[in-house]
Structure 1
């Protein structure tokens, strides 16, 4: 629209219209890349990208100037036209250099928590030069646009000439910086040199156990929940990733991280000291690492529930399947998906060792309810998530109770498959925001918690400092470079302490009556467990994990089953209340939480917790370590057996008339 108005202004020689339309279009382009990159990408696919829009905008400005200024237009504006053409040519050259620089710096391995100074890597160029061409065009083209706008307003061509000259200078400097990076003396090591360095580091570090993970950004939580158990293992653990972007989505840890996107490079792990890899999730790239015969593989999953996905047939591809308790073992047996019971090992849930158990009924006037529904899943089963069919009813019923403080924590993948789930989630959030605003108005006369807010700000700044990337470069660039970081021993412990302090400050800063929508990485779901008096969820691993607290829970039944059939189909439900989509049982449920004598599931929860999570002694952390050591022994035995079975080939020499000619070997 702005370009159409600009064209009209140029044709009509209307300077105010021309200036206003061009300025509006340029500002809209900047805003588009800042707040709506998705729309900018769509325009690019329609061949109406930033380069095209900027070129059209510049040419329309120049055409308008020619029509507005009739005297000496041919000699005066020909130079400006040549200047604009030179600027756009330099932009193309700059982009070609950027691609060459990115290609030369794209190494086959990305690392974290490993001293890579031996590779003598230089700092990456600014992301504006290497990975943001459309923004670069707008930034470098700003002087020319501003100059021509000023000329249109004042009639002085000098402004346009100065602006175009400045734009050409910026483009030339940017191109020169990239060309300097392409000089042989400034190029980084080759890919083969980087891989040789990695192999040398592996030989020196001698890892024995690692975690393998592949997935998208939204699935990073599946790996992050295993970081602490992995870090507490004896020996020298390692994290193996496949996607470059995932390197910076792994939470703070002292464990070394290597990312090997190519299968051929991944196969080099066969010659390392790695004996065991644990797998929190299945992915298409998991089958690639399973080809390494010298490594034993254990599937640990990122959570257990009664859903079919918790006993996926893919699990039989692993050497062992590590589960929390007897329930999962029984689940695999019933599913009959090819997992041998001898390969199933119960290790508990090491992540839950720090969860505080129940401390009686709620203290104070407010009952904190955590509503943590799962997502819709891939199979469109209406029983997967309660968000669509029951979420709004559950939230309205909870908000109607003046003694409830609601924490809403939706699954990170909610709405990624079903647009109806995304819409329902948005409506639930709006209900909570309105209820929070209403309560804030009711408590307006209360003193502000300024000390608590100041403490939270202090703890947030400290935690952000500890968890910020250690290298100063753009995220787009980091995904393609071998990250030059020096390990900082004890950093993970410092982050854990800072996280605990932040969580304490976070909950202290929130009034006891305030409803909250909890998203993001902090506070995590386990921190919400500690402050909640009641959990409402769906059939998911959240229920199994929450049982470690011993506190009441309820499950939404949105699959159309009767309560009897629902409890029979999903054993994790048997120690909790069942909610129908209309949420009629919420008032009675809240009463049973506030008055433990009315709670009919106290004993059943303890029994179910033992069935799902296994015994509390020895702790899950100990059982996890025992499982790792036992599987390492199996790996050693396999390697020893393979070495014994390998007979060196000694070529036999042919002799005239020997028995070889008759098919027999001669002594």
Structure 2
């Protein structure tokens, strides 16, 4: 629609120029420029499409100026000399614009550093703020700086006074030339960032000073940062000097707030600097094409931790055999790898539990038989395969939600996977329909005996109740502001990587503890502020999935790591079977469903499932959940974080032993025997 409007205004401007018709020319030209400027603010995606079609801001403005000059030739009585001066000044504006554009490219290149960091003191690099955004973004500069020139030319059309045009074009020329001159100062020594060699030398010095010993390595595209984020707290709790190693520049800002030092090494040559550092081991929460590059470093041991465990085939990927060790939660994953027969030796599998699950509170007792019950529906996404059982959203989601909303004792907490709809458009459409069902349920009055109404159709609350709700909302707003202040990484619109590096220095002592306390306070305020009768659609990073687990009385999900994590609470759960397999075959293929109620696509089993909440005697799977919890997640003692720390120490010791052997060999010592792998795979077989 917006593109059609721009095209129509250009056609009208052309008609006004050749007829000639002064009012039509002026209105169409001014309208086209105004629409161009407004689209830059409100609909930038439209202009992106035009740019891809080689109709960028310079082309559009050139067309407007050309038609305006044609109109002047037909309509204005100004002489040839003033007209030539106007045209020459316009050409000078374009020359200054393209000069500024070329300078912008040079400035961006000089400010694109070989290494990007967060939470590291970059003072020795002498970085400075980036230029104002209009100077380096031609899409903003061209239409904005052209406003005076266009206004002056349009004023000349009806008045036949070249002075207006010369004045307007002169202002635009001054803006373009001034922008180019000011932008060129970022190429001078005072503002120019250090060159590659100096940055690399600084990074080597930082590695020697900080002396990292264990790190997490992550490479991925947009929307995958959660796979690394779930391991940040575990890494931060380790002894020593942890480090986060990334490969993609945008990922630096997608990593969740943390005090851990973060380095991004986009080029393989710079990644190899880690070989000569004190880094002894890396944790890998995901397989990625660039993982093979870091595996070339012989001085570092590698452990695959995955970003969650489930019965999906992706949880026993054959790629896992390239790592020194595969760290899993409990016996279930060890057996999964053995049955999959993908080349992972059982001696390389180490059970470490799931340290991230510490915030999940165990069940203290059955819920109130009369309700209300918090039922968490957390389906997974469609995945990269065409398997129909990946997500229940497509075939069962709407049936499940309708069945849950039909029971007045249920308060639905709907938390879809953040990547829902990213592969299959139909999943995104089904998710949208589910959200509509929930919105309608909130808007309708609740049945007698159900939770208090919360939607627009609800009865007016008592004044005291309204005051209480307002106080809770104010408390949530205060806690949100407090948490945002501690965790927000707000930058001015024109900030680039170098400026963000300059401003994201090493955090002050005690910041991590303050963030943890503020997060816990925010969670309490969030749940307290929600209307008792409102079903909730929970998206984004807040509230986190573990906070939802603690509020839920029942989980309904798919075959995913969510199920295994939820078992830490020992609460009832159900898994949706949309695979087409009979229930017994489905259980046999997916051990995480052994203690679950199996629901079909038609959601016919929902009433019976809810009946087990009302009558604890009908919860026949309670003991099986306890047994399955230990099978999936390992024993409760020693705690998972302790087992994880021991595994880290063991693999680091293996890395130290290898370095010592190589040093003795390099020093001319006698040939050493190849060590035999021990149980648990410490040291690995491939990098002994």
TM-score (norm 2): 0.90
Cα distance per residue 1:32-91 (max 9 Å; x no partner): 33344333222212111222112212222333344343x125344333322222222211
Give, in whole Å, the separation in 1 of the partners of 2:438 and 2:33: 38
- Map of 1:111 onto structure 2: 117
1:4 correspondence with 2:19 = no
Residue 160 of structure 1: how far off its partner (Å): 3.8
- Map of 1:595 onto structure 2: 615
- Map of 2:487 onto structure 1: 467
Structure 1 residues 158 and 468, CA gap change in structure 2 (3 angstroms):
farther
- Map of 1:654 onto structure 2: none
- Map of 1:658 onto structure 2: none
- Map of 2:587 onto structure 1: 567
1:72 correspondence with 2:78 = yes
Structure 1 residues 10 and 213, CA gap change in structure 2 (3 angstroms):
same
- Map of 1:301 onto structure 2: 306
- Map of 2:29 onto structure 1: 22
- Map of 1:101 onto structure 2: 107
Partner of residue 57 from structure 1, selected from 50, 54, 64: 64
1:219 alignment partner, SS class = coil
Partner of residue 524 from structure 1, selected from 541, 544, 550: 544
Residue 599 of structure 1: how far off its partner (Å): 1.7
How many residue pairs get matched? Answer: 646
Give, in whole Å, the separation in 1 of the partners of 2:199 and 2:490: 20
Residues 107 and 482, structure 1, Cα contact 8 Å, conserved in 2: no
Partner of residue 411 from structure 1, selected from 414, 417, 420: 417
Structure 1 gaps of 5+ residues are: 650-667
1:145 correspondence with 2:150 = yes
Partner of residue 485 from structure 1, selected from 504, 509, 523: 504
Residues 259 and 511, structure 2, Cα contact 8 Å, conserved in 1: yes
Give, in whole Å, the separation in 1 of the partners of 2:392 and 2:52: 37
Range moving further from structure 2, 154-163 or 356-365: 154-163
Range moving further from structure 2, 27-36 or 204-213: 27-36
- Map of 1:653 onto structure 2: none
Residue 328 of structure 1: how far off its partner (Å): 0.4
Structure 2 gaps of 5+ residues are: 1-6, 445-453, 670-688
Cα distance per residue 1:248-273 (max 9 Å; x no partner): 11111111111111000000100000
Residue 158 of structure 1: how far off its partner (Å): 4.4
- Map of 1:661 onto structure 2: none
Cα distance per residue 1:383-425 (max 9 Å; x no partner): 1111111112112222222222222211111111111112212
Cα distance per residue 1:446-485 (max 9 Å; x no partner): 243111111111112222222222765635x227974453
Range moving further from structure 2, 223-232 or 410-419: 410-419
* Deviant stretches of 4+, over 6 Å: none
Structure 1 residues 491 and 146, CA gap change in structure 2 (3 angstroms):
farther
Residue 304 of structure 1: how far off its partner (Å): 0.4
Cα distance per residue 1:124-150 (max 9 Å; x no partner): 2123322x2212222222333344455
Give, in whole Å, the separation in 1 of the partners of 2:631 and 2:126: 54
- Map of 2:675 onto structure 1: none
Residues 128 and 498, structure 2, Cα contact 8 Å, conserved in 1: no
Range moving further from structure 2, 58-67 or 292-301: 58-67
Alignment root-mean-square deviation, CA:
2.1
**1:213-612 → structure 2 map (5 Å cutoff):** 213-363=218-368, 365-438=371-444, 439-446=454-461, 447-448=465-466, 449-469=469-489, 472=492, 474=494, 477-478=496-497, 482-488=501-507, 489-612=509-632
Residues 128 and 502, structure 2, Cα contact 8 Å, conserved in 1: no
Residues 245 and 479, structure 1, Cα contact 8 Å, conserved in 2: no
